Structure 1
Amino acid sequence: MLETVEQETGAAPEWSVIWLHGLGADGHDFAPIVPELVRPHWPAIRFVFPHAPKRPVSINNGMPMRAWYDIVSLDFRSRADASGVAESVAQVEALIAREQARGTPRERILLAGFSQGGAITLSTGLRQQSPLAGLVALSTYLPEVDAATAQLAAGATAQPVFMAHGSGDPVIPVQVAEHSLQVLRQLGFGVEWHRYAMAHQVCAEEIQALGDWLQARFAAG
C-alpha cells in the first residue's frame, strides 16, 4: 500500500477524495489546497494524498524521483511507460479498496490528479466496472489512448469528469489535453472542460470551478 498524507474535514467522513500529485512532487504537494477548496456546508471528506514510488525517469537522464510512470518519449502517443501506468493503476485500486473498507462506498469516492497524477486518474477511471463518484483531471492527458480505450469497462462512462488546463502549458500542450477530451466524449463520458490563461499550474478560478463541480457531486450523492 502506498504511503499517504491524509486530511479529514470532519468526524466520520462520508466521502473520500484520492488525489495524485505530479512528477517529482509528493503527497504533500496538494494538501494545502484543501482549505481553499472545501466549503463550510459540505459533508465531511477524507482527502488522501498518496506518495508515488521513486523510479528512474528516462527524459530526466534516468534521475530517480517520485513518478507514477517512466516518461520514455517526448511523443505523447508513446510517452508513458505502459507497465508503469498499469502498476500505478493497481496501486490506486488498492487505495480505493481501502476507502471502501473504511466505510466509504464507491459512489462516494472521487479520484483526482494533476499532470502525471491526472493521467493515472483517467487511466484508472476507464477501468472501473462499478463507477466512482467522479474523476478530476488537471493539466493532464489520457496516456496510450488506443490501449486505454480498448480496456474501457462497461460502467466507466457513468463517471462524470472535470478537466481543466492552461492555454500556455509548456509541459503538456493544451492541444494534447483537448484531444484527450474529444476521446473521452466520444467514448461517452460527460466531461466538464475548463481552459485558463495559465501555464502548468492551478489557478484560483479553477479551484472555484472545481468546487462548484464537487458541490454538484455531493448534492447528487
Structure 2
Amino acid sequence: MSSLSRTPPLLFPATARHTATVIFLHGLGDTGHGWAGAVENWRRRQRLDEVKFILPHAPAIPITCNWGMRMPGWFDIYKLDGDINSLREKEDKDGITLSQAYIHELIQNEIAAGIPAERIVLGGFSQGGAMSIYAGLTSKVRLGGIVALSSWLLLSLQFAELVPKPEFNKETPIFMGHGDLDKVVPTALGRLSFDLLKGLGYSISRKEYPGLEHSACLEELDDVEAFLKERLPAVGNSNEGKSEL
C-alpha cells in the first residue's frame, strides 16, 4: 500500500488574503468533489473569506466489506453491518497509519506555506471524519479544531497508547455531528466515541440531528460553519496568519 497513487486534492482558494486552511476528508466511495457543494454552502455568507479549503481524494483500494471491490477509501473496512462493535473489533491499522501520514503531510504543506497550525482545521465525513479525529489528535502540531460528521474513534481499544506524548491537541476543540437514524455508522457508536474521548479529557462537543440518516443536513452544515468561524476568525490585514499564497 505504500506505493498508492494519489490524485492532487480539490482546492478552493481563499477569496480574501489566505490566513487559514480547512482540510476536509470525504467518506468511503466518494471523492473530494462530493463535498464541493458543502464548501460553497460554508462560504455563502462570506464569513470564511480568508479560508482555503482542501478536499483530498482517497486512493482506490480493495474494500473487504464490499467483496473486495476497489473504491476510494482511507482504509479498508472488514465488516459493515450496523452493529456497534463491527467497526471496532477488526481495523485496518496499516491503512489508517498510511492515511494518517498523508494527512499530516497536507498539514505540514500548509504550515510551510505560512499558515500557523492553530489556523488549520481538520474535518471529514464518515470514514473521513474518523481519520480527521485520529490524524488530528495524533498530530505533533496544535491544530485550530477538528470536525467529525457521522464518524467514530479509530483504534479505540488502543487509542490512549497511540497518541504521542506530549499531546499537542489535548485542548483542541472537536465537534462531532451525527444523525440519530444512522445505521451505517451507528449513532450509538458515535455516542460511545464521544464518551471515550470525553473521558480521556479532550475538549469535545457533540450534536445529534433528528431524522437524519447517514448523511449531512443544512442545520449540521450551518453548525460546522459556525464552528469554523469561531475557530478561524478573520484577521484582516494584521500579520497573524500571514501567507505568501
TM range (shorter): over 0.9
Following superposition, the deviation at residue 99 of structure 1 comes to: 0.8
Secondary structure of 2:222 counterpart: helix
Structure 1's 47 and 139: CA in aligned 2 closer, same or farther, altered over 3 A?
same
The C-alpha deviation readout for 1:71-104, integer Å capped at 9, x for no partner, is 1234122243110000000010111111111111
Following superposition, the deviation at residue 186 of structure 1 comes to: 1.1
Of 62, 68, 82, which residue of structure 1 is paired with 2:93?
82
- 2:135: which partner in 1? 124
Q: Which has the higher contact order (CA 8 A, sep 6+)?
A: 2
Unaligned runs of 5+ in 2: 1-5, 81-85, 236-245
- 1:103: which partner in 2? 114
**Larger mean Cα displacement after TM superposition, 193-202 or 75-84:** 75-84
The C-alpha deviation readout for 1:189-217, integer Å capped at 9, x for no partner, is 11121100200000011111112212211
- Taking the aligned partners of 1:18 and 1:2, their CA distance within structure 2 comes to 15
Aligned counterparts, 1:1-221, within 5 A:
3-38=8-43, 39-74=45-80, 75-153=86-164, 154-197=167-210, 198-219=212-233
CA RMSD of aligned residues (A): 1.6
Instruction: Give 1:90's aligned amino acid.
Output: A
- 2:239: which partner in 1? none
- TM-score, structure 1 as length reference: 0.94
Is contact 2:42–2:48 with CA below 8 Å preserved after alignment? no
Structure 1's 140 and 195: CA in aligned 2 closer, same or farther, altered over 3 A?
same
Tell me which stretches of 4 or more aligned residues in structure 1 moved more than 4 Å. Answer: none
- Taking the aligned partners of 2:204 and 2:234, their CA distance within structure 1 comes to 16
Is contact 1:169–1:199 with CA below 8 Å preserved after alignment? yes
- Taking the aligned partners of 1:30 and 1:133, their CA distance within structure 2 comes to 21
Unaligned runs of 5+ in 1: none
**Larger mean Cα displacement after TM superposition, 195-204 or 31-40:** 31-40
Kindly name which structure, 1 or 2, has the bigger radius of gyration based on alpha carbons. 2
Is contact 1:165–1:194 with CA below 8 Å preserved after alignment? yes
Percent of counterpart pairs with the same letter? 35
- Taking the aligned partners of 2:154 and 2:234, their CA distance within structure 1 comes to 30
The C-alpha deviation readout for 1:106-148, integer Å capped at 9, x for no partner, is 0101001000001111111221232100000000101210222
Is contact 1:43–1:218 with CA below 8 Å preserved after alignment? no
Instruction: Give 1:120's aligned amino acid.
Output: M
